[in-house]
Amino acid sequence: MNKVEVIHTPALLPLYSLNDKVVVVIDILRATTTMCVAFNTGVNKILPVASPDECLMFKEFDFIIAAERNAEKVPGFDMGNSPFEYENPFLAGKNIAFTTTNGTKAIKMAKAMNPNCILIGSFLNITALCNRIKESGKDLVLLCSGWKDKYNLEDTLFAGAVIHQQLSSAYEMHDDAALSAYFLFEQHQHDLEAVVRKSSHAKRFTLLHLQTDDVKFCLQQDTITLVPEMEGEFLVNKTATQIAG
């Protein structure tokens, strides 16, 4: 029987092996949600990069450059990290170099640990993601991006939601980290928005006076049927490649 593990923050990664496992990177507010939206709009590739300085270098290679730090767009960049920005049809066919406080960092850390594959998860694509996981036949790691190496509520809730869907198939919870995510989701599955609005990141949005309701947006379920996946250094939408080619 395949196993599922939950890693509640990237700081815990050194305690785990990702070797030959399917890794789902989770940053519900907002990086992995935003990535799903970008591919749904028709973005070609996303290059996760470590820092705004590195991201800037891709401007001359005709990339859209996107950078967020502390939930705000970094001055001088084309785009920030609100999923609403990535619904713009102008982005279809474009390549994006992207750096965020936690999400892109978690992706790069996972990549360095030789997993079988890295998938991008959000509530928007949860059923497509779970189907993709089931097809893999591999052990599963749900990697929460957290906030600056600390635990956050919304990523763990999502990990619990994935386990909830996975339990109907052949996955067993490997440890208490997975069990606690599962129990958290079980307890709050009918009041997710109220719970996530209490989270520290939602409070951060309030303090920044965000003009859009990103919490509500990021908790929509199954509005997207694709699963972004790492291919080399890039995130791509393999479904689009298969259809095109």
Residues at the contact surface with ligand MLT, assessed by CB under 6 A: 27, 29-31, 68, 71, 81, 100-103, 145
| Distance in Å, CB of 221 to ligand MLT, minimum | 19
> Which residue is at the shortest CB distance from ligand MLT?
100
Compute the least distance from the CB of residue 49 to ligand MLT, in Å: 12
If the CB atoms of residues 144 and 173 are measured against ligand MLT, the closer one turns out to be: 144
Nearer to ligand MLT, 68 or 139 (CB): 68
* Residues in CB range of 175: below 8 A, 6 or more apart: 5, 6
The residue among 139 and 154 lying less far from ligand MLT, judged by its C-beta, is 154
* Least distance between ligand MLT and beta carbon 81 (Å): 4
Q: Which is nearer to ligand MLT, 30 or 94 (CB)?
A: 30
Least spacing, CB of residue 173 vs ligand MLT, in Å = 26
Q: How far is the CB of 101 from ligand MLT (least distance, A)?
A: 3
- Closest distance between ligand MLT and the C-beta of residue 73, in Å? 9
**In terms of CB distance, is 103 or 228 closer to ligand MLT?**
103
Encoded tokens for 24:
């789902």
For ligand MLT, which is the closer residue by CB, 98 or 185?
A: 98
